[in-house]
Homo-oligomer: A and B are copies of this chain.
Amino acid sequence: MQLEQLGEFALIDLIKRDTINKADSVMIGIGDDAAVLKSTPGRLQLVTTDMLVEKVHFDLSTSSAWQLGYKAIGVNLSDIAAMGGVPNHVVISIALPKHLPVDFVVSLYDGMKEICREFGVNIVGGDTVSSPHGLIINVTVLGEVEADKLQRRSGARVGELVVVTGTLGDSGCGLDLLMQGDWQIYSFASSLVSRHLVPKPQVLQGQMLATLGSTSMNDISDGLASEVNEIAHASNVGMRIYSSLIPLSPELQEAALLFGKTAVHYALYGGEDYQLVFTIAPEKFKVLAQVDIGTPLTVIGEVTERSEGILLVAEDGRTSVLEAKGYNHFC
With a cutoff of 8 Å between Cβ atoms, the chain B residues found around residue A15 in the complex are none
| Interface-facing stretch out of A139-147, A180-188, A254-262, A291-299 | A139-147
Is A179 interfacial (CB 8 A cutoff)? no
Q: How far is the CA of A94 from the CA of B53 in the complex (A)?
A: 10
With a cutoff of 8 Å between Cβ atoms, the chain B residues found around residue A125 in the complex are 47-49
Given contacts A39-B39, A136-B136, A140-B140, contact A79 B47 (CB under 8 A): no
Q: How far is the CB of A54 from chain B (nearest CB, A)?
A: 8
Is A321 interfacial (CB 8 A cutoff)? no
Partner of A46, one of B35, B95, B145, B328: B35
Which positions 286-330 of chain A face chain B at CB distance < 8 Å? 328-330
Q: How far is the CA of A59 from the CA of B92 in the complex (A)?
A: 24
Given contacts A45-B45, A329-B129, A329-B130, contact A83 B136 (CB under 8 A): no
Q: How far is the CB of A156 from chain B (nearest CB, A)?
A: 13
Given contacts A51-B129, A132-B56, A138-B51, contact A79 B34 (CB under 8 A): yes
With a cutoff of 8 Å between Cβ atoms, the chain B residues found around residue A142 in the complex are 45, 47, 142
Q: How far is the CA of A56 from the CA of B136 in the complex (A)?
A: 13
Given contacts A7-B330, A127-B51, A130-B329, contact A36 B28 (CB under 8 A): no
- Type the 1/0 row for A99-123, where 1 means its CB is closer than 8 Å to any CB of B: 0000000000000000000000000
With a cutoff of 8 Å between Cβ atoms, the chain B residues found around residue A152 in the complex are 28, 32
With a cutoff of 8 Å between Cβ atoms, the chain B residues found around residue A93 in the complex are 49-51, 138
Which positions 60-82 of chain A face chain B at CB distance < 8 Å? 79-80, 82
Partner of A133, one of B7, B132, B328: B132
Is A1 interfacial (CB 8 A cutoff)? no
Interface centre among A33, A98, A133, A152 (most CB of B within 10 A): A33
Is A228 interfacial (CB 8 A cutoff)? no
Q: How far is the CA of A47 from the CA of B33 in the complex (A)?
A: 9
Copies in the complex: 2
Given contacts A136-B53, A138-B49, contact A36 B32 (CB under 8 A): no
**Is there contact, CB below 8 Å, between B91 and A49?**
yes
With a cutoff of 8 Å between Cβ atoms, the chain B residues found around residue A48 in the complex are 33-35, 91, 125
**Is there contact, CB below 8 Å, between A34 and B46?**
yes
Q: How far is the CA of A322 from the CA of B132 in the complex (A)?
A: 31
Is A211 interfacial (CB 8 A cutoff)? no
**Is there contact, CB below 8 Å, between B51 and A94?**
yes
With a cutoff of 8 Å between Cβ atoms, the chain B residues found around residue A28 in the complex are 152
Q: How far is the CA of A45 from the CA of B172 in the complex (A)?
A: 38
With a cutoff of 8 Å between Cβ atoms, the chain B residues found around residue A133 in the complex are 132-134
**Is there contact, CB below 8 Å, between B51 and A44?**
no
| Nearest 7 Cβ contacts at the A-B interface | A34-B48, A51-B93, A8-B330, A138-B138, A133-B133, A37-B45, A33-B82
Beyond known contacts A33-B48, A93-B138: 11 more, CB 8 A cutoff: A8-B330, A11-B330, A34-B47, A34-B79, A34-B83, A34-B141, A37-B47, A51-B95, A51-B138, A98-B331, A127-B138
